[in-house]
Amino acid sequence: MNRLNKYVTFKIGDQWFGLILSNVERIIRAVEVTPLPQAPEVVAGVINFQGRIIPVVNIRGRFSFPCREIGLNDQFIIANTSRRTVAVVADAVGDVVERPEQEIVAAGEIMPDIEYVEGVIKLEDGMILILDLGRLLFHEEEQILKNAMEEM
């Protein structure tokens, strides 16, 4: 029997991305982000979400999209990694898509140098890049973020 994987899809620029549904806690409208001095560049700051301080990850730079301020129409995807909960900035959130495991192309076949993309779903009009949130922050960035959050 084919195992179906479920992904929450979201868009940045013209590119669709996906996160494993079971890692997604909630999707919320963008709220004001508090700057976090000494945080890695990929971290836009932090938000208070239900009493928890959560780093906001803006992956635009990781994929060479032009940087821009977080807008009122953006959304935050609150998702869990093995190390922490993060809020991923999205221009728009799409549907939950289901795909059999064998339809997911290993990212190494298409993008061998990008370790934070774990797979690709091919579509008729493009593709969905499946992110590995646990690898989105490089080891050094994870340590810098940890130190910056401890100083809050």
Whole-prediction pTM value?
Answer: 0.90
Q: What is the mean pLDDT of each run of 10 residues along the chain (152 residues)?
A: 87 95 97 92 94 94 88 96 93 94 81 81 90 86 87 80
Which two three-digit tokens encode residue 85? 């909960």
pLDDT of residue 95: 95
pLDDT of residue 91: 97
Residue spans per domain, the chain: 4-150
Q: How big is the chain, counted in residues?
A: 152
pLDDT of residue 1: 55
DSSP string, 66-77: PP----TT-EEE
What are the backbone dihedrals phi and psi of residue 145, each rounded to the nearest 5 degrees, phi first? -65, -45
Domain spanning 4-150, CATH class: mainly beta
